[in-house]
Amino acid sequence: MTGMFELTDADRERAAAHIEQARAEAADISLPAGVAPRPVHTVAVVGAGTMGGGIAMACANAGLEVWLVDAEAAGLARGLARVREQYAASVQRGRLTAQAMDERLARIRGTLVLADAAAADLWVEAVFEDLVLKQSLFRQIDAVARPGAVLATNTSGLDIDAIAAATSRPQDVAGAHFFSPAHVMKLLEVVRAAQTAPDVLATLMALGARLGKTAVLARVYPGFIGNALFRQYNREAHFLVEDGALPHEVDAALTGFGYAMGIFAVHDMAGNDVGYPTRKAQMATRDPARRWNDLIMKLVEQGRLGQKSGRGWYRYDSGRREPQRDPEFEAWLVAESQRLGRQRRPIGTEEILERCLYGMVNEGARLLEQGIALRPGDIDLVYLTGYGFPAAQGGPMFMADRIGLPRVLAAVERLHAEHGVWWEPAPLLRRLAQAGSSFGQWARERG
Catalytic residue numbers read: 156, 177, 189, 227
Does 127 interact with ligand NAD (rule: CB under 6 A)?
Answer: yes
Please provide residue 344's backbone torsions phi and psi, each rounded to the nearest 5 degrees. Answer: -70, 145
Is position 265 an interface residue for ligand NAD (rule: CB under 6 A)? Answer: no
Size of the site for ligand NAD (CB under 6 A): 25
> Among all residues, whose Cβ is closest to ligand NAD?
49
Shortest Å distance, C-beta 361 to ligand NAD: 24
- Which residue in 75, 271, 275, 388 binds ligand NAD (CB under 6 A)? 75
Cis peptide before 390 (omega within 30 of 0): no
Contact 128, 137 (CB under 8 A): no
* Residue 68 neighbours by CB distance under 10 Å: 27
State the angle between helix axes of 327-339 and 226-243 in degrees (0 to 180), rounded to the nearest 10: 90
What is the rounded distance in angstroms from the CA atom of residue 21 to the CA atom of residue 16? 9
Q: Is 48 in the site for ligand NAD (CB under 6 A)?
A: yes
Per rule CB under 6 A, is residue 159 in the interface with ligand NAD? no
Residue 48 CB, nearest approach to ligand NAD (Å): 5
Query: Considering the rule CB under 6 A, would residue 111 count as an interface residue with ligand NAD?
Result: no
Scored b (16 or more CB within 10 A) or e, 221-252 reads bebbbbbbbbbbbbbbbbbbbbbbbbbbbbbe
* By CB under 6 A, residue 69 contacts ligand NAD: yes
CA angle 87, 174, 86 (to 5 degrees): 5
Q: With contact defined as beta carbons under 8 Å apart, do 272 and 312 qualify?
A: yes
Interacting stretch for ligand NAD, rule CB under 6 A, among 148-156, 360-368, 379-387, 430-438? 148-156
Does 51 bind ligand NAD (CB under 6 A)? Our answer is yes
| Min separation Cβ 79 and ligand NAD, Å | 6
Choose between 1 and 113: whose C-beta lies nearer to ligand NAD.
113
Per CB under 6 A, the list member of 104, 120, 145, 154 interacting with ligand NAD is: 154
- Residues 302 and 275: beta-carbon distance below 8 Å: no
Q: Is the Cβ of residue 75 or residue 388 nearer to ligand NAD in the bound state?
A: 75
The verdict on 115 binding ligand NAD (CB under 6 A) reads no
269 sits near ligand NAD (criterion: CB under 6 A): no
In the set 11, 25, 129, 336, which binds ligand NAD (CB under 6 A)? Answer: 129
Task: Write 269-276 long-range contacts (CB < 8 A, 24+).
Answer: 269/306, 269/307, 269/321, 270/306, 271/305, 271/306, 271/307, 271/308, 272/296, 272/299, 272/300, 272/304, 272/305, 272/306, 272/312, 272/313, 273/300, 273/305, 276/300
Return the range that interacts with ligand NAD (CB under 6 A); candidates 122-130, 339-347, 372-380, 436-444.
122-130
Which residues contribute to the site for ligand NAD (CB under 6 A)? 46-52, 69-72, 75, 79, 126-129, 133, 137, 154-156, 178-180
